[in-house]
Amino acid sequence: MALIVQKFGGTSVGDPEKIKNVAKRVLKKKNEGNQMVVVLSAMSGETNRLTEFALAMQDMPDLREMDVLLSSGEQVTISLFAMAVKALGDDCISFLGDQVKIETDNSYTKARIEGIDSDRITKELDSGKVVVVAGFQGVTETGDITTLGRGGSDTTAVALAAALEADACEIFTDVEGVYTTDPNICDNAIKIDRITYDEMLELASLGAKVLDIRSVTFAKQYNVPVHVRSTFTETEGTWVVAEEKAMEGKIVSGVTYNKNEARITISGVPDQPGIASKIFTPISNADIIVDMIIQNQDTGNGETDMTFTVARTDYQRTLQLLESVVKQTGAKGGIHGSDSITKISIVGVGMRNHSGIASTMFSVLSNEGINISMISTSEIKVSCIIEERYTELAVRALHDAFELGKESVPEEETLS
């Protein structure tokens, strides 16, 4: 008997009819002789709706209360799912994060899982029940409710699969797998059959929201093979696995975009030792994650500019924090920034052994008249910050330039 963890995203459980269909799909798998643990997201749009409510109460909602609020979305779907299973004549029990002790740190709204006590789940599985667990939530040592950050139900699923030593972890979503780029904005994107944990980590960290990045970190750490597939078809999806030799072939395997960042510049800061620490220590103390950082060279007058990106949701808070830093450092140019930027990236393990990839990317963007405001590279990726309004244009142009799309059949061939 195999133990299978199946996670269904928001669109898969978007209304009561869809929840009933998911229950049928899960029971089909159970009736093939498997033990089933199911992780659900909130109904699609629900987490956004709750966030709007919070913003109507406070400009910067209290983070602890935000988590009490946001975790309610998943409570709705798991209870309805358990009822749907019972209506189909089988048995099911639902659990919130704290009931199965998904213990996290206390970074509200972006908590990290530190441990799971799987005893209760195992007991219920052994008694023949389907177990359904609320995704995206956990509990601190002191009993406070936390959430794991947007898209966090994927992480709940993979962490549970690791803790239960499950035989498979399937992530069901509204597309048929991981594609060379977002199939919803590029018609000729191709589904990738197998992708390495490392490539998937880069794709996820750079905006391919089909898998939450921390779910891939868990999968890699505990060697959990993850199958990303569609809720609405039976088609085989994408396997996310450890590196296999044959995978080195492709230079660029995907194009991603991330519209969730904001860019901030502090201008005219004195170019002296300790300045970076003065700027970034208060930011990290506030638990704000900084992504790209560029420090310009001293322009000759003993001053420099520091530009960096943070999550768009942290933009206002970071600007506020920096007001006192500007006073303290005497930054003459003040702070400015934009929250309508996109980070566009190309990713591929094959890049390790090839040169000229970054310059091709820059030429493609320049041919489209798109200005690059920041660049960062790693062994297997190149990222550029551009204006948000050029996102779709840039994705399609790069996808074509690196020949990632379906090959179109030349007209002559079709005619002959």
Which residues would be at the binding site for ligand ADP (CB under 6 A)? Answer: 9-12, 41, 151, 173-175, 178-179, 181-184, 208-210, 254
Secondary structure (3-state) at 37: strand
Q: Which is nearer to ligand ADP, 78 or 279 (CB)?
A: 78
Provide the binding-site residues for Mg ion, judged by CB under 5 A.
9, 151
Q: Which is nearer to Mg ion, 44 or 75 (CB)?
A: 44
Of 318, 188, 332, nearest in space to 255 by CA: 188
**Closest separation between CB of residue 192 and ligand ADP, Å?**
8
d(CA 111, CA 146): 6
**Closest separation between CB of residue 277 and ligand ASP, Å?**
33
Of 119, 122, 95, nearest in space to 36 by CA: 122
**Closest separation between CB of residue 405 and ligand ADP, Å?**
13
Choosing among Mg ion, ligand ASP, ligand ADP, none, which partner's interface includes residue 254 (Cβ < 5 to 8 Å by kind)? ligand ADP
Q: How far is CA 303 from the centre of its chain?
A: 37
Angle CA 142–145–147, to nearest 5 = 130
Choosing among Mg ion, ligand ASP, ligand ADP, none, which partner's interface includes residue 47 (Cβ < 5 to 8 Å by kind)? ligand ASP
Choosing among ligand ASP, ligand ADP, Mg ion, none, which partner's interface includes residue 208 (Cβ < 5 to 8 Å by kind)? ligand ADP
| Cβ partners under 8 Å of residue 182, min gap 6 | 189, 208, 256, 257, 395
Q: Which is nearer to ligand ADP, 111 or 186 (CB)?
A: 186
- For the record, the structure tokens of 246 come out as 């044959």
Choosing among ligand ASP, Mg ion, ligand ADP, none, which partner's interface includes residue 135 (Cβ < 5 to 8 Å by kind)? ligand ASP
Are 148 and 138 in contact, with CB atoms under 8 Å apart? yes
Strand stretches in 202-357, DSSP E: 226-230, 238-241, 254-258, 261-270, 290-295, 303-311, 334-338, 341-347
Choosing among ligand ASP, ligand ADP, Mg ion, none, which partner's interface includes residue 136 (Cβ < 5 to 8 Å by kind)? ligand ASP
Q: Scanning the structure block, which residue is given the tokens 């201008």?
A: 267
Neighbours of 376 (CB within 10 A): 16
Provide the binding-site residues for ligand ASP, judged by CB under 6 A.
9-10, 41-42, 47, 73, 135-136, 150-153
**Closest separation between CB of residue 7 and ligand ASP, Å?**
8
Q: Which is nearer to Mg ion, 73 or 151 (CB)?
A: 151
Choosing among Mg ion, ligand ASP, ligand ADP, none, which partner's interface includes residue 11 (Cβ < 5 to 8 Å by kind)? ligand ADP
d(CA 352, CA 354): 6
Q: Which is nearer to ligand ASP, 108 or 308 (CB)?
A: 108
Are 30 and 130 in contact, with CB atoms under 8 Å apart? yes
Do the strands 261-270 and 303-311 form a parallel or antiparallel pair, or are they unpaired?
antiparallel
Q: Which is nearer to ligand ASP, 97 or 152 (CB)?
A: 152
Give the type of residue at 240.
V
**Closest separation between CB of residue 153 and ligand ASP, Å?**
3
Choosing among ligand ADP, ligand ASP, Mg ion, none, which partner's interface includes residue 73 (Cβ < 5 to 8 Å by kind)? ligand ASP
Q: Which is nearer to Mg ion, 80 or 210 (CB)?
A: 210
- For the record, the structure tokens of 90 come out as 């089988």
